[in-house]
A and B are shown apart, each in its own frame.
Chain A
Amino acid sequence: MIEIKDIYKSFSGNNVLKGISGKFEEGVTNLIIGGSGSGKTTLLKCMVGLHQPDSGSVLYDGRDFTPMSYEQRIEVRKEIGMLFQGSALFDSMTVEENIMFPLNMFTDQTRSEKIDRVNFCLERVNLAGKNKLFPAELSGGMKKRVGIARAISMNPKYLFCDEPNSGLDPKTSIVIDELIQEITEEYKTTTIVVTHDMNSVMGIGDYILFLHEGKKFWEGSNKEIAHTDIKELNDFVFASRFMKAAKDKF
């Protein structure tokens, strides 16, 4: 479980996060949603330590991450897997080398054990046999799946996904969403997905935290989201004509 308490973050006097708190349980898909500039990616980066919050704390199963030393953070980070918006695969490495990279760095496995693990991860994301391809040879959806394979290669306890569906067609987006949900349930990871994709919200949002202008406006599940009377949330979720038309059916 990850708990955030009263997170504040500002950049050059601009307050981006204004006291965000929340609890993200393990084995369920937790979503952070909000419009552009609402602070969701900043919150994610504060949680993983890419940004240092001005105040507040991030607790990984009770361990306060924010005041930790560099060495202590390394130990927590070994338990984190992250899928980036642009996949962030290493250009100079093949798919196999990308997935094997954390294993090379932090395990003493033999080469054959590592190859087995790579093949397992690739099979898990339905990319078996793509070991020797370079990121430049992959489609956007395949890159995301390799990103997931790399993120799960070390059996992470915590999985973070930053806009996993950005730039993908609706069908591939659903494949990625389902994959994230399956992995979460299978490995009992604490999964946090930052998104503004409504299909993801309705499809996999077990717990949703809605941010608006750097504040937490609402939290709940995808079953509850259609039945709130919070204007900002309704404006965000039901912005499109399709969603407006579909609202009554939820």
Chain B
Amino acid sequence: MNFTNFGRYILLLKSVFRRPEKLKIYLKEIAKQMDYVGVGSLGLIAIISTFIGAVMTLQIAFQLVSDFIPKTIIGSVNRDSSILELSPTISAIVLAGKIGSAISSEIGSMRVTEQIDALEIMGINAPGYLILPKIISGITMVPMLVIISMFLSITGGYIGGSVSGAVTPAEYIQGITTDFNPYTITVALVKAFVFGFIITSVPAYEGFYVRGGALEVSQASTRAVVISCISILACDYIVTQLLL
């Protein structure tokens, strides 16, 4: 995203946050988007988080070669890695692929078939009607998905450790309950909020300014996912630097 695009992105966001024409219709649309972003992504996030947690346990156990390090550390490392990094970031990147491409394609298709022009002609604030519900659903549902992801990732670690014998259930439980710092949850939720905003607003921008036809819509969709992923990683670093 160069400076011109960034400027247009900011101007688009300004239009997005104009006063809604009719709140009731916007609320209905927000509920629809929350269902799509939240409930629709639950299965994918659950599977990915559980397996990542399980794999993490095995890999940490593999790297703990010293007998001087207690095995309870496996639980602690898994917990902190899941909460601080894996759940927010991996979930966000997966969601950028799933939701980001869908948002970009949907809005891009509406642009090339003149549906956005039709909204404008009717006197409706098209950016507000199309993008605001998606952003609100992103910033509310992505943190919820991340919370579920944290829980499942830690649970996945428990299952992986128990099944493989890499760590006993008692050691793992002791590990995840020792020296827990609740602030890590706050950091993760701040990240999830920021990522939720990126996942929805960047693809919406890419879709909104598509010119051309089907080819350009697909190119915008690809660009949306790539830019979202890079933005997520950059913001991940910035938020971590600021909050930890």
Contact = CB atoms under 8 A, between A and B. Distances in A.
Contacts of B118: 82, 84, 88, 90
B191 to A, nearest CB: 32
A77 B123 contact: yes
Contacts of B113: 86, 88, 91
A84 B22 contact: no
A90 B115 contact: yes
A160 B194 CA distance: 42
B134 to A, nearest CB: 14
Contact of B114 (A74, A75, A84): A84
Contact of A105 (B21, B110, B115): B21
B117 A105 contact: no
Interface string B111-124: 00111011011111
A104 B22 CA distance: 8
B114 A105 contact: no
Interface in B33-55: none
A100 B122 CA distance: 12
Best-surrounded residue of B18, B21, B22, B122 (most CB of chain A within 10 A): B122
A105 B121 contact: no
Contacts of A77: 120-123
Interface residues of B, number: 16
Contacts of A154: 122
Nearest to B117: A50
Interface string A90-132: 1100000000011011100000000000000000000000000
A80 interface: yes
B25 interface: yes
Nearest to A154: B122
B124 A80 contact: no
A105 B120 contact: no
Given A84-B114, A88-B115, A104 B122 contact: no
A2 interface: no
A84 B117 contact: yes
A66 to B, nearest CB: 15
Contacts of A160: 121
Given A85-B114, A88-B115, A91-B115, A80 B121 contact: yes
14 contacts: A77-B121, A80-B121, A80-B123, A82-B121, A84-B114, A88-B115, A88-B117, A89-B115, A90-B115, A90-B118, A105-B21, A106-B22, A106-B123, A160-B121
